[in-house]
Amino acid sequence: MLIRRKPELTYADVTPEDLYFNRRKFLKAMGIAGAATIAGSGLLELLSPSRRVYAAGKFPNLAKSPFSTTEKPNTLEDVTHYNNFYEFGIDKTAPAKNAQKFRTSPWSVSVEGEVKTKRKFTMDEILKLAPLEERIYRHRCVEGWSIVVPWIGFSFSTIANLVEPTDKARYVAFESLYDPSQMPEARYGGIAFPYVEGLRLDEALNPLTLLCVGMYGDSLPNQDGAPVRMVIPWKYGFKSIKSIVKIRFVTKEPPTTWNLANSHEYGFYSNVNPNVDHPRWSQAKERRLGEILRRNTLIFNGYQDQVASLYTGMDLKKNY
Amino acid sequence: MPSFLANKWTKPPVFLLCLVPFGVLVGRALTRNLGANPVEFIQHATGDWTLRFLIFTLSVTPLRKLLKLPDLVRFRRLLGLFAFFYACLHFLTYLGPDQAFDLSAIWRDVAKRPFITVGFTAFVLLIPLAITSTAGWIRRLGGRRWQMLHRAIYISAICGVIHYYWLVKSAVRRPLTYAAIVAVLLLWRLGDWLIRRGRHIATAPKTQGASASG
């Protein structure tokens, strides 16, 4: 039956960032103002923090980003306990359970292929490559649900500028870690591992394309693609590959996992598009987690101003 | 054992047992314990239980014959009606919370999306079976015709399994498990029918031959 035992201590047992944030702010305010003189406006500020940046955890000095949406982020609980990460199981609640012991340190990402300087970055190096920004993005799954997440990272173009792609580079191929000893559930996923993804070079260099190292003010939880992943907010979620170990600049369109599994249903581009249905379901609407009724899905997930020009002249129905 | 199955007091506990999945769902809803996507949670739970109850219902006849427990048949209608009950909850969740009663969108979905078409078929086929599940309807239709009609549950179960198989993206282990069980239950019937037919032919008078078996 549906009775599930709660694991000993999960990520969810950590005080939610917003509560923690309020508490810090409260203590700080107490210090400055003194216990006796908290003004009415100060109290209001405490009740509804106006600052959008989650600055409680590992990354205290995050820059705000003009790309951030003003929409309300989902709760950390929802984002960490409802997601796909087939290496750790096929149920939405499985990654939170099965990824707890996933070893994400030491970790390095090798950048190779058509570049002037091949490099291997350790996680410590990656964290120092550029000032970390908080980017609050909409994230739309091909299955018809969506979330709003305060990711942390910097534009992927930072990496490209460091390794300098050659003139031959047209695409970027990404590869996730696959360690069957840590990911025994992967064999039931029905897709090939390691998980691979790809972008056209100009898509990868678009400033929205995020190399992501954290969320909600802290490092990435294991189940959300720790320690480093991509976030491409105008594409369906499966394009935003998790737990990256290899990045290759290549000349030809690289293979991508879901396209290999079912090319009829998942194309290389997989841009969010309410007008191009998935063969088995409509993409016109989506359910934002935390809401019951579906809302309309936006073309390019609402990022058309930034990315529509990448696809001028292309038939988006053919290049799904 | 047989006398226990024939006892009139065995039905109420079985009835209550069949309500447990529903009770668990209501309990979870009241304690806000349906996860990040409650509508999907209810859809999956009610879909799973519909398939399970279809399988329970289809198991009655093979078990009854294999274990020589004729009284098991007393529970067949109960199990079948619970399959219909969970199918109704499944369908209503789709109709209401999922599609917000947007009938034109639903109609387009049913017509255009094979996995919904086949799921809708499975559900619609159960409606006449639920209606004609009473003793009065068996009398009115006559046993033979009633039995013919109620074979629609085979098609409903097959459609239900296909509905699940077409829904998942790549992880087919669970839908294939349901499919395998349904296949075994239906193949057993085919085998049973062939054996009975064989016997019938063997014992039939020579002059009438095979045509007598119908």
User: ipTM, 2 decimals?
Assistant: 0.85
Answer for the pair A237, A230: CB distance below 8 angstroms, yes or no: no
Please check the confidence at residue A114 and state whether its pLDDT lies above 90.
yes
Taking the CB of residue B137, how many other CB atoms lie within 10 A of it? 14
Distance between CA atoms of residues A197 and A203, nearest Å: 13
Q: What is the CA radius of gyration of chain B?
A: 20
Please give the backbone phi and psi of residue B177, each rounded to the nearest 5 degrees, phi first.
Answer: -65, -50
CB-CB: which of A1, A74, A287 is closest to B39? A287
Q: Which long-range contacts (CB under 8 A, 24 or more apart) does A91-96 make?
A: A92/B35, A92/B36, A92/B37, A93/B35, A94/A185, A95/A222, A95/A223, A95/A224, A96/A10, A96/A11, A96/A12, A96/A221, A96/A223
Instruction: Give the 3-state DSSP-derived string for A73-141, with helices as H, strands as E and coil as C.
Output: CCCHHHHHHCCCCHHHCCCCCHHHHHCCCCCCCCCEEEEEECECCCEEEEHHHHHCCCCCEEEEEEEEC
Please state, in angstroms and rounded to a whole number, the distance separating the CA atoms of residues A19 and A47.
10
Q: Give contacts of B45 with chain A, Cβ < 8 Å.
A: 2
Q: Does B24 touch chain A (CB under 8 A)?
A: yes
Of the candidates A92, A93, A191, which has its C-beta nearest B170's C-beta?
A191
**Helix axis angle, B11-30 relative to B38-66, nearest 10°?**
170
The mean per-residue pLDDT over the stretch B171-182 comes to 96
**For residue A240, what is the DSSP state?**
S
Å between A64 CA and nearest CA of chain B: 27
Q: What is the mean pLDDT of chain B?
A: 92
DSSP state of A235: B
Q: Spell out the residues 6+ positions from residue A136 whose beta carbon is closer than 8 angstroms to its own.
A: A52, A65, A68, A69, A70, A71, A73, A148, A149, A150, A151
Contact B36 A289 (CB under 8 A): yes
Distance CA A223, CA B86 (A): 33
Between residues A80 and A4, the one the model is more confident about: A80
Determine the average pLDDT of the residues in A258-272. Answer: 97
**Residue A49, pLDDT score:** 41
Q: In the 8-state DSSP scheme, what is residue B94?
A: I
> Residue A281's pLDDT band (boundaries 50, 70, 90)?
confident
**Which of A72, A161, A185, A173 lies closest to B173, judged by CA?**
A185
Q: Determine, for residues B97 and A189 on separate chains, whether the beta-carbon distance falls below 8 Å.
A: no
A188 touches chain B (CB under 8 A): yes
> Considering chain A, what is the average pLDDT of its residues?
88
CATH 3.90.420.10 domain residues, chain A: 57-311
Q: Give the residue-averaged pLDDT of A237-246.
A: 98
Q: How far is B190 from chain A (nearest CA, A)?
A: 32
Where is A296: in which H helix or E strand? strand A295-296
CATH fold, domain A57-311, is Sulfite Oxidase; Chain A, domain 2 (3.90.420)
Average pLDDT over residues B192-213: 71
User: Does B32 contact chain A (CB < 8 Å)?
Assistant: no
Domain range annotation of chain B: 2-198
- Chain centre to alpha carbon of residue B172: 21
Quickly tell me which residue has 């984002």 as its tokens: A79
The pLDDT value given to residue B2: 55
Residues sharing a CB contact under 8 Å with residue A126, sequence separation 6 or more, in sequence order? A109, A211, A213, A228
Give the pTM: 0.84
Read off the tokens for A144: 């018809």
- Sorting pLDDT into bands at 50, 70 and 90, what band is A61? confident
Distance CA A315, CA A275 (A): 12
User: Does residue A76 contact residue A16 with C-beta atoms inside 8 Å?
Assistant: yes
Task: Say what the pLDDT of residue A279 is.
Answer: 86
User: Is A291 near chain B, with CB under 8 Å?
Assistant: no
Give the tens place of pLDDT for each residue, B34-92.
999 999 999 999 999 999 999 999 999 999 999 999 999 999 999 999 999 999 999 99
B171·A262 Cβ contact <8 A: no
Q: Which of A132, A201, A213 is nearest to A163 (CA)?
A: A201
What integer pLDDT is reported at residue A201 of this predicted model?
Answer: 98
Count how many residues are written for chain A.
320
Choice between A12 and B207, residue whose per-residue pLDDT is larger: B207
What does the alpha-carbon distance between residue B95 and residue B103 come to, in Å, rounded to a whole number? 8
Q: Virtual CA dihedral for A221, A223, A225, A231, nearest 10 degrees?
A: -90
pLDDT at B214 (0 to 100): 37
CB A228 within 8 A of CB A211: yes
Q: What is the per-residue pLDDT across A140-186, written as a single tens digit (0 to 9) for each?
A: 999 999 999 999 999 999 999 999 999 999 999 999 999 999 999 99
**Does residue A55 surpass a pLDDT of 90?**
no
Whether A48 has a pLDDT exceeding 80, the answer reads: no
Q: Indicate if the pLDDT at residue B151 is higher than 80.
A: yes
Q: Is A97 left (phi over 0), alpha (psi -120 to 50) or beta?
A: alpha
Find the length of chain B: 214
Residues of B in contact with A293 (CB under 8 A): 97, 100
- What is the least distance, in Å, from the CA of B113 to any CA of chain A? 5
**Which of B44, B170, B176 should we substitute to test contact with A (largest number of A Cβ atoms within 10 Å)?**
B170
Residue A84 Rama label (left phi>0; alpha psi -120 to 50; beta)? beta
